[in-house]
Amino acid sequence: MTKPQIPLEELRAQVQACQRCPLAEGRTNVVFGDGNPQARVMFIGEAPGKNEDLQGVPFVGAAGKYLDELLGFAGLRREEVYIANILKCRPPSNRDPRPEEIQLCTPYLREQTRTIDPEIIVTLGNFATKFVLKTDRGITGLHGQLHQAGKFKVFPVFHPAAALYDSSKKVALEDDFTTLGKFLVS
Ligand code: URA
| 3-class SS letters over 94-147 | HCCCCHHHHHHHHHHHHHHHHHHCCCEEEEECHHHHHHHHCCCCCHHHHCCCCE
70 lines ligand 1 (CB under 6 A): no
CA distance 165 to 106: 27
Over the stretch 105-126, which tens digit does the pLDDT of each residue have?
999 999 999 999 999 999 999 9
- 183 strand-pairing partners: none
Helix, strand and coil percent figures for the chain, each rounded to 5: 50, 15, 40
49 lines ligand 1 (CB under 6 A): yes
pTM over 0.85: yes
* Residue 179: predicted pLDDT: 98
- 156 strand-pairing partners: 123
Over the stretch 156-178, which tens digit does the pLDDT of each residue have?
999 999 999 999 999 999 999 99
CA of 2 to the centre of ligand 1 (A): 31
* Residue 2: predicted pLDDT: 61
CA distance 39 to 80: 6
33 lines ligand 1 (CB under 6 A): no
CA distance 156 to 154: 6
**Can you tell me which atom of ligand 1 is nearest the CA of 45?**
3
CA of 37 to the centre of ligand 1 (A): 19
* Residue 3: predicted pLDDT: 66
CA distance 169 to 149: 25
CA of 97 to the centre of ligand 1 (A): 12
47 lines ligand 1 (CB under 6 A): yes
pLDDT score of 145 more than 80: yes
